[in-house]
């Protein structure tokens, strides 16, 4: 099933703000420098003109999701799209994307695949990430066939439903139509993940195994600390 923009259950803005501040802290602890637009406040966005349309059009920047389930501490994660092309707009020639993701211990990113995108998921530091993999059938179900795993120059096969364990520095290549999820190995702490991929399209290219909303609605209980990637104001 294709992703939905949101569901009825919303995240509180305070929860989103706290998640962003937490990820900023973890990123800084790993000595990773973010691009300038990741630090802009809503007030600074007010006068950003069309010269920054690439950020708006390609949904660069902050993204916090609980998939519309209202259980962010156990179902969801935080991420930043650092760069991205756009297959629907000829003016953007980049055929690639890069993201930075943070998954806390106890959080889960649900089973999904991408119709077109191939990506490498890299453990950039912190704990160990567990990624369960299944091939998909033509009707979008789990296949019972062995899965070919491509990891740091090594190719091998595992039974359907195997969890691949990535320690810091290790990676896995996730090809189109390969179901995968993310969970942190208990006792190892928050994980900072890198994603290097083909162009990213979170609206049209995701298929979740269960019906979920990719971008939650937001309950405004305080002012935004940073805009999310789907909230930018139009250029003045």
SS3 of 115-142: the string is CCCCEEEEEEEECCEEEEEEEECCCCCE
CA separation, residue 140 to residues 44, 110, 143, 192 (Å): 43, 15, 9, 29
Answer whether residue 136 is part of any domain: yes
Residues shown for the chain: 236
Q: What is the pTM of this model?
A: 0.93
CA torsion, ordered 121, 126, 130, 135, to nearest 10 deg: 0
pLDDT reported for residue 5: 47
**Can you give the pLDDT at residue 9?**
66
Task: Give residue 33's domain range.
Answer: 10-219
On whether residue 46 sits in a domain, the answer given is: yes
Instruction: Report whether 101 contacts 195 (CB < 8 A).
Output: yes
**pLDDT confidence of residue 100:** 98
Helix (H) or strand (E) holding 55: helix 53-57
Domain-embedded: residue 98: yes
Number of domains in the chain: 1
Residue pair 123/204 in contact by the 8 Å Cβ criterion:
no
pLDDT of residue 4: 43
CATH number for the domain spanning 114: value is 2.60.120.10
What is the DSSP secondary structure assignment for residue 182, as one 8-state letter? Answer: E
- Examine residue 230 and state whether it is found in any structural domain, yes or no: no
Give the largest CA-CA distance in the chain. 54
Q: Give the pLDDT means over successive 10-residue stretches in the chain (236 positions).
A: 51 97 97 97 97 98 94 96 95 97 97 97 98 97 98 98 98 98 98 98 92 86 97 95
Task: Please name which of 161, 173, 167, 7 lies closest in space to residue 75, comparing C-alpha atoms.
Answer: 7
Is 228 within a domain? no
| Cα–Cα nearest to 79, from 107, 103, 100 | 100
Q: Is 233 part of a structural domain of the chain?
A: no
4 falls within a domain:
no
Residue 121 lies in a domain: yes
- Beta carbons within 8 Å of 107's beta carbon, 6+ residues apart: 72, 73, 74, 75, 76, 77, 183, 184
Alpha-carbon radius of gyration of the chain: 17
User: In this predicted structure, what is the pLDDT of residue 8?
Assistant: 52
């Amino acid at each position: 099933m294709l992703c939905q923009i949101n569901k009825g259950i919303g995240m509180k803005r305070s929860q989103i703000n706290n998640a962003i501040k937490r990820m900023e802290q973890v990123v800084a602890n790993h000595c990773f420098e973010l691009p300038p637009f990741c630090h802009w406040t809503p007030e600074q966005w007010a006068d950003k003109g069309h010269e920054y349309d690439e950020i708006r059009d390609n949904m660069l920047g902050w993204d916090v999701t609980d998939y519309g389930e209202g259980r962010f501490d156990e179902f969801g994660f935080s991420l930043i799209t650092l760069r991205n092309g756009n297959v629907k707009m000829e003016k953007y020639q980049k055929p690639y994307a890069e993201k930075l993701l943070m998954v806390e211990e106890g959080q889960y990113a649900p089973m999904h695949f991408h119709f077109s995108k191939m990506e490498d998921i890299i453990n950039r530091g912190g704990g160990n990430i567990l990624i369960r993999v299944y091939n998909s059938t033509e009707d979008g179900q789990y296949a019972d066939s062995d899965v070919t795993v491509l990891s740091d120059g090594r190719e091998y096969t595992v039974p359907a439903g195997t969890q691949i364990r990535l320690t810091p520095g290790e990676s896995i290549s996730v090809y189109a139509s390969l179901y995968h999820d993310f969970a942190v190995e208990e006792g190892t702490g928050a994980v900072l993940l890198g994603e290097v991929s083909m162009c990213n399209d979170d609206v049209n290219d995701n298929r979740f195994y269960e019906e979920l909303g990719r971008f939650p609605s937001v309950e405004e209980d305080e002012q935004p600390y940073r805009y999310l990637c789907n909230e930018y104001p139009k250029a003045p």
